[in-house]
Chain A
Amino acid sequence: MNTNPDESLLALWLDDELHGEELVAVEAWALTQPEQLAAREEVRKWRAMMSAAVPAVEEPPFPDFFNSRIEKAIREQPVVKPAPAPAKTSFWRSWFVPATAFAGMAVAFWVGTQTKSTESQVAQTVSQIQTAPVVYTPEQGVDAKWFASSNASATVIVLEGVNAIPSTLDFSETASVPTSGNENSDQAIGLQQGERR
């Protein structure tokens, strides 16, 4: 190996975890690296000391009781039914469902565009109504004509066919007549008259 092995490869080599071509390559490089060879020996010595002093396998106390308690605990567990596996999607569903969804979206889009044009027609009609109002005449035979002048800022309504108001019509009948028991009303009328003056 012409170049130094990276840290990961070196760590694996130091712990004797390299195999095959990688091992051969790093070994060849390490021949000229006495400090790395010494480091590997240190790691080996360390591992040997640890594994000799601390056992990797240690039977738990009362091993038979250990096993039987595990079995007992497993048997006493509530039965849990496994979740049902999701049903396999059929070929028919795999293409029909997306196609139907797409068609539905297309129809909804078309309906949306149609609704929009109807709305614009309604808006146009309303604006026409607002510019040419319909004048309502409750009495039959009466015809009303409407004129508007934007320059004069005036609106004139001409009624034709309305009967003349008779001179005998007493307007007082349509006005409020003060009575003796309604003093406040008198005052109110007086006040109104005073205001007019």
Chain B
Amino acid sequence: MNKPSGNTSKNTQGPPGTADSDASNADPDDDFRLVALAQGGDMRSYDALVTRHRGRIYAMIRNMIHQDADAWDLSQEVFIKAWNALPRFEAKAKFSTWLYRITHNVVYDWTRKRKIESAGELNDEIFERDRIDPAAVTAPAMGEAPDDLMAHGELRQKIEAALCKLSPEHREVVVLKDVQGLSYKEIADVMESTLGTVMSRLFYARQKLQALLKDEYQSR
């Protein structure tokens, strides 16, 4: 097994901290303890970290690119890159903020690559449901069935549609602030921007989003 620090120590006991999948409940101190063990090569601790943070990372990527299949793959890429970069992680920032920064880079690399690839002609056939293996784990998102639409909520659909109309920078800042609940400082760290840039982007992004969701927003 490849270990971040080349240490072959293996923790025979279970990793500390609960392996809950909701990172909002994850104690940063527990994260640091798990990170320290994972840096020593303990795969079980890293698995616990993945379990604690995968829900937020997947939700963020999904809100950024609005494609379930790619969001699943990119989330995995984030955790693989995080493992490789784990020896360089210092406890200066929260582990979750550090993960968001990796997510930011992975999503932007994917977006750039996609722009280059989509420069050619679009092949509509790849979107036909009949051509996709129904057993595929990463089935792409389709137009949702009426039941699903009800379950997810009409408002969410409209917000997601409105988010798609924002630039990637504006979309990310809204997702990180209003959905993920990060502070301005954390967003600046994630996006490698200044505090002023983040404030400005958020101001204009909210303005545009509120204009797009005018009917829903004012009725509440």
Chain A interface (Cβ < 8 Å from any Cβ of B): 7-8, 11-12, 15, 17, 45-47, 49-51, 53-63, 65-67, 69-71, 73-75, 77-82
Contacts and interface: CB of A to CB of B under 8 A. Distances in A.
A57 B47 contact: no
B40 to A, nearest CB: 14
Contacts of A62: 137
Contacts of B68: 61
Interface residue SS majority, chain A? helix
Contact of B184 (A11, A55, A78, A82): A11
Contacts of B37: none
Q: Which 3 A-B pairs have the closest CB atoms?
A: A57-B55, A58-B59, A50-B178
B35 interface: no
Contacts of A51: 178-179, 181
Interface string B170-184: 000011011111011
A7 to B, nearest CB: 7
A179 B19 CA distance: 121
A17 B183 contact: yes
Contacts of B137: 61-62, 65
B54 A8 contact: no
Contact of B206 (A46, A55, A79, A80): A46
B80 A70 contact: yes
A15 B174 CA distance: 13
Contacts of B84: 77
Given A8-B199, A62-B137, A67-B54, 14 more contacts: A8-B196, A11-B199, A49-B155, A55-B59, A57-B21, A58-B59, A59-B21, A61-B68, A66-B76, A71-B43, A74-B43, A77-B80, A78-B2, A79-B2
A50 B51 CA distance: 25
Interface in B104-145: 137-138
